[in-house]
Chain A
Amino acid sequence: MSWYKRISENILTPTSEKKEVPDGIWTQCPGCKTAISTKTIHKNAYVCTTCNHHLQIGSREYFEILFDENEFTEMDANMISADPLEFKDTKAYPDRLIDSIKKTKLKDAVRTAHGKSNGLDLVVVCMDFSFIGGSMGSVVGEKICNAVKFCIENRFPLLIISRSGGARMMEGALSLMQMAKISANLALLSQNGLPYISLMTDPTTGGVTASYAMLGDLNIAEPNALIGFAGPRVIKETIGQNLPEGFQRSEFLLEHGFLDFIIDRKDLKDKLSSLLKIMQKLPSGE
């Protein structure tokens, strides 16, 4: 496939997306503290080869894992947060945004893209926790709603990968309303009979859990991810006692009936294709 052909198909993966990791760099697994070659971990879908700990990754890595040849078209790539409340705490919100943009090389806490995954059309929404705790403000709401509309127009399935501390305080009630806005648009997606898979990763809490993360046709999660409405610290303070082992982890939610299944990141792509084909009544060999 020539470069020009790729342009005409609107596939514009910037070179910076394509990660080359030199040999001889090591990563310490936050789970088991084993030092593993970074290249090995990357090849293993950013999962520790010793203890299966799923490293916290962002949209760059998930797009690389899910899209064939890491080729995708990003949507709304130039959308950034405004400051409708002129919010200031210990720091003015615009300064916080600029710092986060510089630090993360991202523009906000979500990226949306479409492309092929195992040859199937797929729209992927992926949150970036590194950007102000993956918090949901107007940009997250607007980008997700645009992605949903794109799915409806093109009859594509939707995957949302959540990793977020919840709604973004600095946009006040506007952040809260993104929960309503996204949920309403997901209702339209559902009425159009298009599959929506919600993947929850570590951590997924607050307003994200209380809206789109829990509204998938399938709600799935990575192993041992913290998933909840209220954070563990708040609950602990409310009830005045320690929380049981494994509380609010993926396995706990599965046992209580709130997840369809838990998926190892290494198996994610193939499992998604298999299910999406079944849900869209496509032949298995496609």
Chain B
Amino acid sequence: MENNKQIFEFERPIYDLITRLEEMKAITSENQVDMSGAVAVLEKNILELKNNIYSNLNRWQKVQISRHTNRPYTLDYIEAITTEFTELFGDRQVKDDKAMVGGFARIGEYPVMIIGQQKGRDLKSRQFRNFGMPNPEGYRKALRLMRLAEKFGVPVITLIDTPGAYPGLEAEERGQGEAIARNLLEMSVLKTPVICVVIGEGASGGALGIGIGDKVYMLEHTWYSVISPESCSSILWRTWEKKELAAEALKLSAQDNLELGIIDGIIPEPLGGAHYDHQFVFNALKEQLLSDLDVLTKTDTPTLIQNRIEKFSKMGVVDYI
């Protein structure tokens, strides 16, 4: 916990107690006084406070956790849960998009094609990865890799983590809308199993562009919606300041999306979020993927596609007068 420099305001009470605990321990060792009773009480209080705060996170707090810079990113997951990963580059048309990565690998004994948006951690790598915002080339590269997987009957796994598709001039010139649209259509009838997992931010079309799967999951403290809370605030409230209200209104958490029938399940994170214990989420994700690969690789392709289309066709709520 102490290694995480980025502390959120709502975590402050926990860190205040931790500071007191450290002071107490320091006094104990310096002055040779026995404070073990008080230390135990404080440790118990800290744990209770953590449980209390982290199990009552509001939606905006979850959005903040989903963006924590010490969360594992796509390549971290790939390194941790796969073997024999070979990264494959380029869309074969324009260039290689650094905000979208992918390649062949194995998860357990299963050959897979694993694809995802990639963010950077420091200023330089963030710019290199374009903040995880793909251009059309990224979506076309992802589609190229999915088609390659389809050709050899290899299941596709996508890891979603993007603040949105890049809204740039060249992105428009090269057909950002068309690139995403094409992926939606092709993924819905891809003749191989597809599993999608939101590992951080699931912002709108940029996320959905690699998000059509037989199974779609979200990690516990991630968000997935039609728009970011900040942009929603700026459009509907005409100010950037109502992002907390917007996050609540959008019902964008993993729990909300499960209730709305948009995702198939939630993959648990350690107390406080994935950045507190990477190995915890690596294990949880790998376990979920292996159990789905067991089932999906045994399902015949027409059934797989029919179920996939039916699943998405059921999404939405309407009324009649």
CA distance A84 to B172 in the complex (A): 33
Contact with B along A196-218 (1 / 0, CB 8 A): 00000000001101111111000
B20 at interface, CB cutoff 8 A: no
**B318 to A80, Cβ gap below 8 A?**
yes
Contact with A along B204-228 (1 / 0, CB 8 A): 1100110110000000000011110
Stretch at the interface among A134-142, A151-159, A266-274: A134-142
CA distance A79 to B317 in the complex (A): 11
Minimum CB distance partner of B186 in chain A:
A187
- Chain B contacts of A256 at CB under 8 A? 173-175
- Chain A contacts of B308 at CB under 8 A? 184
CA distance A229 to B180 in the complex (A): 9
A90 at interface, CB cutoff 8 A: yes
- Chain B contacts of A215 at CB under 8 A? 181-182, 185
CA distance A243 to B168 in the complex (A): 10
Q: Which of A80, A175, A229 contacts B226 (CB 8 A)?
A: A175
**B252 to A172, Cβ gap below 8 A?**
yes
CA distance A78 to B319 in the complex (A): 8
- Chain B contacts of A228 at CB under 8 A? 172, 176-177
CA distance A137 to B235 in the complex (A): 17
**B169 to A243, Cβ gap below 8 A?**
yes
- Chain A contacts of B246 at CB under 8 A? 89
- Chain B contacts of A18 at CB under 8 A? none
CA distance A238 to B315 in the complex (A): 33
Contact with B along A173-197 (1 / 0, CB 8 A): 1111111110111111011000000
Instruction: Say whether chain B's binding surface is mostly helix, strand, loop, or mixed.
Output: helix
CA distance A212 to B172 in the complex (A): 17
CA distance A184 to B175 in the complex (A): 20
**A167 to B226, Cβ gap below 8 A?**
yes
**B320 to A180, Cβ gap below 8 A?**
no
B309 at interface, CB cutoff 8 A: yes
CA distance A145 to B309 in the complex (A): 11
B123 at interface, CB cutoff 8 A: no
**B319 to A79, Cβ gap below 8 A?**
yes
Q: Which of B169, B182, B232, B316 contacts A174 (CB 8 A)?
A: B316
Nearest-CB distance from A141 to chain B (Å)? 5
The number of chain B residues with a CB under 8 A from chain A is 56
**B182 to A82, Cβ gap below 8 A?**
no
- Chain B contacts of A173 at CB under 8 A? 224-226, 250-252, 256-257, 260, 262
**B249 to A85, Cβ gap below 8 A?**
yes
**B172 to A235, Cβ gap below 8 A?**
yes
CA distance A82 to B260 in the complex (A): 13
**B250 to A206, Cβ gap below 8 A?**
no
B4 at interface, CB cutoff 8 A: no
Q: Which of A191, A227, A229, A234 contacts B189 (CB 8 A)?
A: A191
Using known A-B contacts A107-B321, A139-B318, A243-B169, determine if residue A180 contacts B177 with beta carbons closer than 8 Å. Answer: no
Minimum CB distance partner of A167 in chain B:
B226
B295 at interface, CB cutoff 8 A: no
CA distance A152 to B263 in the complex (A): 28
B184 at interface, CB cutoff 8 A: yes
- Chain B contacts of A107 at CB under 8 A? 321
B188 at interface, CB cutoff 8 A: yes
**B312 to A177, Cβ gap below 8 A?**
yes
Query: What would 4 more interface pairs be, CB under 8 Å, given A178-B315, A209-B177?
Result: A171-B226, A176-B224, A181-B313, A229-B167
Chain B residues proximal to chain A, CB less than 8 Å? 165-169, 171-178, 180-182, 184-186, 188-189, 204-205, 208-209, 211-212, 224-227, 232, 235-237, 245-246, 249-252, 256-257, 260, 262, 308-309, 312-313, 315-321
Chain A residues proximal to chain B, CB less than 8 Å? 78-82, 84-85, 87-90, 107, 137-139, 141-142, 145, 167-169, 171-181, 183-188, 190-191, 206-207, 209-215, 227-230, 234-235, 238-239, 243, 247-248, 256-258
